[in-house]
A and B are shown apart, each in its own frame.
Chain A
Amino acid sequence: MTKPKIAVWKFASCDGCQLTLLDCEDELLDIADSVEIAHFLEATRTTVEGPYDISLVEGSVTTAHDAERIQEIRAQSKTLITIGACATSGGIQALRNFADVKAFTSTVYAHPEYIKTLKTSTAIADHVDVDFELRGCPISKAQLLELLTATLAGRKPHVPRVSQCVECKLAGTVCVMVAKGELCLGPVTQAGCGNLCPSHGRGCYGCFGPMENTNIAALAAQLRTLGAETPEIKDLFLSYNAAAPDFSKGGQTP
């Protein structure tokens, strides 16, 4: 039996999610045994032409070139999986969607005329059909392994869309919002990070994006009760997943 061909693609991103794949260390040899890595520039210069059985796509679409390239990748891929906040919601760079990108480029670059960029940073699913979106900034190694394993086995991955609170409660973590009054996005954020911030006494930053059934207005009202002012509430929602529709709603908190 020939091994499934897997390709890893980068768009606008920090490469952290691709690093999570390389970070699989113990399991990496098993992965390499199970698939043919046909295109993964972060790991090897050697590439194999398409079509591909599985494409993992990191990053968001921020240039006209990106928008064309993702169409080609989709056409070459049997299964297309997006990995990370950039690919699933536009990432931190989607803050430009709420501002004037020209003002940014002229502030940041000495020669803004060299910069050819779109006015928005958008998720891959805004451009092509996506078979599965793996959340996180960065993605979780355990969820990535589960997703790859499930995809290779032809079964549904176990990636629950429940709140971060579920992870806290299963781990026995004391709720930082209730016990300390910390500002926390956990009740509207999808689980998966491994309970990272609350288990260290901090509120959730929403790295895994909105959960399946959010109530943004009710959480924003409670954050206000805990003492947060409107700018602080907006900043909390407008970060790694700013352009995820539910979180951008939080960014419009009056």
Chain B
Amino acid sequence: MLVDHFIADGWRVIGPRAANGAIVYEPLRSGADLPKGLIDDQQPGSYRLTDGNPNRWFDYVVGPQNWKKWLFPAKQKLWSAEKTTDGFTVTAHEESYPKTVLFGVRPCDLSAIEILDSVFDNGDFTDTAYRERRQKTFIVTVQCARAASTCFCTSMRTGPRAKRGFDLALTELGESRDNAFLVESGSPDGDNVLTALDCPAPEKQHHDAAEKATQNAINDQSCHMPDDIRHLLRDNPEHPQWDDVADRCLSCANCTLACPTCFCSDVEDINDLSGDHTERWRSWDSCFSGAFSYIHGGSVRRSTKSRYRQWMTHKLSSWHDQFGTSGCVGCGRCIAWCPVGIDITAEAAVFAKDEE
């Protein structure tokens, strides 16, 4: 199948696999690594993989990890320096990112990659390593045919059907053993693969079945983000709900690290014992840590309240001012992977209700 086609063609294929009770995104050895027949039950603070229809390849939705770990690694060396007799030399870190297929990217996560593009390669600023990784990346999207109870892509307008941004998009049709896929191309690179695969052209029944799958994923969704959340949060920095959520929030940073668009990082210089060799490393950081807002004299955001407010307001409100879109794609990871199950849509609903 498609995974094996890419591997045979020399690509590194990263896709969904079942590991440690969840769907993770790791290199695939063949299409047989795909977690066929599994389904995820996601609730606030809870995630369980169970058996679903054994004929279906993609009935699970998003897992705990996200694709940013491949495009924006959790830890990356930036450069190293060596002391010399009359000073020091600096060597930029050269990484080897092979040509890579991200296989099984859901529409919400595709939007998240688009958001990362606008952060790391936006005309005013370019992270050259990020851009190189993106240029060597081919994206195969899988359109969703069901939603978890934590999904809210419809209200963020990022899914459940992607119309652009992918190289190829698959929609799984039917429930039977030999069920078909609707394959659509979204780029010249995608066209080339479609030509090489020599698939039969889709007929009306296939498009109808794809439409039905999308409708099913829309109907599944019970979480919603209020339409005017951008202004609701901007106008309510002193709302009592911030104290309420701070009573429950652990400030553990899980939401930000599970989020496919949170992009903050920390930079540290590390030297060895001799002092002759130094390295600069960048690693994921979170606005939920005290050190994150540390300036001379101390941290600006000392309370959990101020940290939660910063995160939620940036994600849903000031992100619009900064990048022209919301920072949220409605994947629901921050809901499922919050150890105490704080639901960002439920918090948002309190602001909306009080405005009525």
Cβ-based interface call for B55 (8 A): no
A177 touches B270 (CB 8 A): no
CA distance A80 to B353 in the complex (A): 55
Contact A27 B254 (CB under 8 A): no
Partner of A174, one of B19, B45, B75, B253: B19
Whether A108 is near chain B, meaning CB under 8 Å from some CB there, is no
Interface residues of A in 137-187 (CB under 8 A from B): 145-146, 148-149, 152-153, 155, 158, 160-163, 165-166, 169-175, 177-181, 184, 186-187
- Residues from chain A with a CB closer than 8 A to the CB of B290 are 161, 212-213
In the complex, are the beta carbons of A153 and B47 less than 8 A apart?
A: no
Interface size class of B (residues with CB under 8 A): 35 or more
CA distance A212 to B298 in the complex (A): 13
Contact digits for B48-83, partner A, Cβ 8 Å, 1 yes 0 no: 110000000000000011000100001100000000
The answer to whether A184 and B253 touch across the interface, beta carbons within 8 angstroms, is no
Cβ-defined partner of A222 (8 Å) among B19, B284, B339: B339
Q: Which of A158, A211, A212 contacts B268 (CB 8 A)?
A: A158
Chain B contacts of A180 at CB under 8 A? 21
Bound form: Cα–Cα A162–B264 in Å: 15
| Cα of A50 to Cα of B257 in the assembled complex, Å | 47
CA distance in complex: A215, B254 (Å):
14
**For residue A160, which residue of chain B has the nearest CB?**
B291
Q: How far is the CA of A165 from the CA of B255 in the complex (A)?
A: 10
Is the CB–CB distance between A175 and B289 below 8 Å? no
- Are A166's CB and B21's CB within 8 A? no
User: Min CB distance, B348 to chain A, in Å?
Assistant: 20
Q: Name A's interface SS.
A: helix
Q: A201 contacts the other chain (Cβ, under 8 Å)? A: yes
Which residues of chain A are near B284, meaning CB under 8 Å? Answer: 166, 169-170
- Is residue A31 contacting chain B, with contact meaning CB distance below 8 A? yes
CA distance A53 to B49 in the complex (A): 55
CB distance from B113 to the nearest CB of A (A): 18
CA distance A213 to B251 in the complex (A): 7
Name the residue of chain B whose CB is nearest to the CB of A162: B289
Q: Which residues of B contact A (CB under 8 A)?
A: 19-22, 24, 45-49, 64-65, 69, 74-75, 247-254, 257-258, 268, 270-275, 283-284, 286, 289-291, 302, 304, 307, 336-337, 339-341
A-B residue pairs in contact (CB < 8 Å), sample of 25: A33-B274, A145-B273, A152-B275, A155-B271, A158-B268, A161-B289, A163-B250, A166-B257, A166-B284, A169-B254, A169-B284, A170-B74, A171-B74, A174-B19, A174-B22, A175-B254, A178-B47, A180-B21, A184-B339, A186-B252, A187-B250, A187-B339, A211-B252, A215-B250, A219-B340
